[in-house]
Structure 1
Amino acid sequence: MVELAKLLVHRHSTLVISLVIITSPSTATAAVTRYADSLAAAATPRVSLLRLRGEDDPSLPAGNAAVSMIESQRTRVREALLEFTPTARLAGFVLDMFCTSMLDVAEELGVPSYLFFPSGAAFLGFTFHIQTLHDEEGFDAAAAAESTEAELVFPGLVRPLPGKVLPSGLLHEEWAAASYRMARDFRKSKGILVNTVKELESYAVDSLSRTENPKVYPVGPILNLKSGDTSFESSGEDDETIEWLDQQPESSVVFLCFGSMGAFRGEQVREIASALEGSGHRFLWSLRRPGEGGPWASPTDYEDVREVLPEGFLDRTAEVGRVMGWVPQAAVLAHKSIGGFVSHCGWNSTLESVWFGVPMATWPMYAEQQFNAFLLVEELEIATEVRMDYRSESEEVVSAEELERGIRSLMEDCSRKGRMKGFSDLVRGALTDGGSSSSSIAEFIGDVSNNDL
């Protein structure tokens, strides 16, 4: 959201943006506070951060509790904005996808609401269509996901979507209800800024433009490539990692990293190690310990990775591989020695990989990542499949043989690399003057500026 705000104020000399951050006792961790501080330091004079502290409701399920906590802040947000902008004309709201309860506040203040959708255009189209199927036809996503033969046709996809890759959230009643509710709220917005590039998802963007849904502005890629993820403390290991990569041949290293929530337990770790050793390829592996205290507990770094790796693995692979905890992902993907990326398929990671032209192998975990994996493998053809239907909650073990096949395909098949390079050039040009995303941002600013005319 901060990077989007920077783009907007850069394009409009009198635009001022107040970014509201709502935390609760359960989310206001040291890492979150440190990250918010870093955002404040990185903001421009015309982008300010307004922090509000909510309260958790322990009686509610996790998904409902988060939404309820945000809803409870509506009055405070209204009062804070009126106090914060006494002399400026409030032009509108840009809402995070989980903050649609603030639509009511915008209506009270007499301004339009827009949505920032951090995933891609195809998934936005899917979100709308699946909600329509549920509301009008009683579609049961959980039943479709269990069927080995179910294939679903969606307007924003060229190929039918197998039921097995439906997003994990739709398979649980609580989260499915929240997803459908959010989709209904999305339709109430005046427009949706999507973190994608028209040339990357042209079919999906064109499909959305032909619907009666709110206007879509493809404004991506919205990435923070310079400062990295400062929610984690940088260490000397970061420099050592880059130095190690400097010593490797170009496009020779496979990079394994599974996002801020991605971690595996012992048996799966040993299968990954066996696959890497068997493949014979150089590797950089971000290996983290699963969090304690529930499925959404944040992973941590091992004090000593030897406790979970096969005996002698580090010694046998010392010349060709490196295993560490958290890594500066963007800096790694930018390095010329990286030849492939085994990823959980989070949308930010996907955009980073496309930006740097690194082909991917898909190993989704949760949220919409199974859908993203399908998009990358079947629609865009810039990734090879380890799995498209893996779900972290299942704790299924992917075999070393299956993973080794995926790594070999990723590193030895050159067809995807050329296709990824083509998309990389298009994505990099989107935010330049005259580029598709730059033009879309200008169009959005023009629409906001004319709202009171």
Structure 2
Amino acid sequence: MSVASDLDLTAKYVYVPSHARFLAVLVYLPILDKIVEGEYVKIKEPLKIPGCKPVGPKELMEMMLDRSDQQYKECVRVGLEIPMSNGVLVNTWEELQGNTLDALREDRELSRVMKVPVYPIGPIGRTKRLVEKPNRIFEWLDKQRERSVMYVCLGSGGTLSFEQAKELAWGLELSGKRFVWVLRKPASYLGVSSSDDKQVSTSLPEGFLDRTRDVGLVVTQWAPQVEILSHGSIGGFLSHCGWSSVLESLTKGVPIVVWLASLCGAAGPALHQFL
């Protein structure tokens, strides 16, 4: 808001690329900050936020895990500033999150905090585009049966520990199902490029790539997710459930398998609506 004021903008609108529940939590956070004592993770009763299901310690957004952290303080500040705008554009739609949108507009407690109009303008995401040929991902997918492949991707920044990567690899192998796995470097390799094939492959069980050669494809480079989800051979999506991934999967009609560790992220409160 301060930047908009410095530029003398007559109308100030906020765009929230995430979902309506994230917006509800964000604008209600300054109230929680005043009425809740101690850390949210230690509360005995779930937090009640208008328009949202009660939020227990395990469903808290990451930004709420440590009240002394600068990220939390910034979120409280943003929650205070959003209602100072002329309106809010949010990346969702009525049929998906109607209850929360109604609460933002009409709930006596939440609308008094929100104060300004909320406009759902979603789903907004990257559109499908032509992929340069040849591309080994699509060459492989073209050979698979319809709806037979599980797409596994835990986000552009989603890295696993060595133990998690190995366990997920064993799970995929023992399932006997076909898969495309976009695998980032293990989280302990903080200084190594995520596209370093050698470092990524060391996080897999010995012989995994050879044993799964006929049923799986491991990708260590960036992958065109929208195009992959649009492919007819994809039957499911194991996802960290960032909001962009959720929207892309929903709009392509691909069922989501939730990576449970993701539920404390920004999409968490929205996902609990559907789980």
TM-score range normalised by the length of the shorter chain: 0.7 to 0.9
Question: Contact between 2:161 and 2:188, CA under 8 Å: does it hold in 1?
Answer: no
In structure 1, runs of 5+ residues without a counterpart are: 1-99, 229-233, 382-453
Shift of residue 308, structure 1, vs aligned partner: 2.3
Q: Distance in 1 between matches of 2:157 and 2:57?
A: 24
Q: Distance in 1 between matches of 2:188 and 2:157?
A: 12
Which of 23, 31, 47 aligns to 1:132? It is 31
Which of 111, 120, 144 aligns to 1:218? It is 120
Which of 234, 254, 261 aligns to 1:358? It is 254
Note the 1:39-188 alignment, pairs <5 A.
100-106=1-7, 109=8, 111-135=10-34, 137-140=35-38, 143-146=39-42, 149-157=44-52, 159-172=53-66, 173=68, 174-188=70-84
Q: Distance in 2 between matches of 1:219 and 1:176?
A: 27
Shift of residue 369, structure 1, vs aligned partner: 5.3
Shift of residue 288, structure 1, vs aligned partner: 1.1
Shift of residue 227, structure 1, vs aligned partner: 4.2
Question: Contact between 1:126 and 1:156, CA under 8 Å: does it hold in 2?
Answer: no
Q: 1:185 to 1:221 in 2, by over 3 A?
A: same
Larger Rg: 1
State the Cα RMSD in Å. 2.5
Aligned position for 1:332:
228
Shift of residue 220, structure 1, vs aligned partner: 0.9
Shift of residue 251, structure 1, vs aligned partner: 1.6
Q: Distance in 1 between matches of 2:270 and 2:192?
A: 27
Q: Distance in 2 between matches of 1:167 and 1:320?
A: 36
Q: 1:196 to 1:164 in 2, by over 3 A?
A: same
Q: Distance in 1 between matches of 2:146 and 2:189?
A: 41
Aligned position for 2:163:
267
Aligned position for 1:316:
211
Q: Which amino acid aligns with 1:192?
A: V
Question: Contact between 1:364 and 1:370, CA under 8 Å: does it hold in 2?
Answer: no
Q: How many residues align?
A: 265
Q: TM-score, normalised by structure 1?
A: 0.54
**Structure 1 segments of 4 or more deviating over 6 A?**
234-237, 291-294
Query: Deviation digits for residues 229-254 of structure 1, max 9, x if unmatched?
Result: xxxxx8867x2111211221222211
1:258 aligns with 2:258: no
Q: Distance in 1 between matches of 2:229 and 2:266?
A: 22
Q: 1:316 to 1:221 in 2, by over 3 A?
A: same
Aligned position for 1:302:
196
Q: Which amino acid aligns with 1:134?
A: D
- Paired residue secondary structure (1:185): helix
Q: Which amino acid aligns with 1:156?
A: G
Q: Relative contact order (alpha carbons < 8 A, sep ≥ 6): 1 or 2 greater?
A: 2
Question: Contact between 1:254 and 1:340, CA under 8 Å: does it hold in 2?
Answer: yes
Shift of residue 130, structure 1, vs aligned partner: 2.3
Q: Distance in 2 between matches of 1:194 and 1:323?
A: 35
Q: Which amino acid aligns with 2:267?
A: N
Shift of residue 372, structure 1, vs aligned partner: 2.2
Q: Distance in 1 between matches of 2:93 and 2:179?
A: 30
- Paired residue secondary structure (1:104): helix
In structure 2, runs of 5+ residues without a counterpart are: none
Query: Deviation digits for residues 311-330 of structure 1, max 9, x if unmatched?
Result: 11111111111101121111
Q: Distance in 2 between matches of 1:334 and 1:110?
A: 40
Question: Contact between 2:16 and 2:89, CA under 8 Å: does it hold in 1?
Answer: yes
Query: Deviation digits for residues 308-361 of structure 1, max 9, x if unmatched?
Result: 211111111111111011211111111121111111111111110111111112
- Paired residue secondary structure (1:123): helix
Question: Contact between 1:262 and 1:299, CA under 8 Å: does it hold in 2?
Answer: no
Shift of residue 299, structure 1, vs aligned partner: 5.7
Q: Which amino acid aligns with 1:253?
A: V
Q: Which amino acid aligns with 2:152?
A: L
Q: Which amino acid aligns with 1:224?
A: R
Q: Distance in 2 between matches of 1:323 and 1:268?
A: 16
1:248 aligns with 2:144: yes
Q: Which amino acid aligns with 2:21?
A: A
Question: Contact between 2:60 and 2:268, CA under 8 Å: does it hold in 1?
Answer: no
Shift of residue 208, structure 1, vs aligned partner: 0.8
1:344 aligns with 2:237: no
Q: Distance in 1 between matches of 2:152 and 2:241?
A: 12
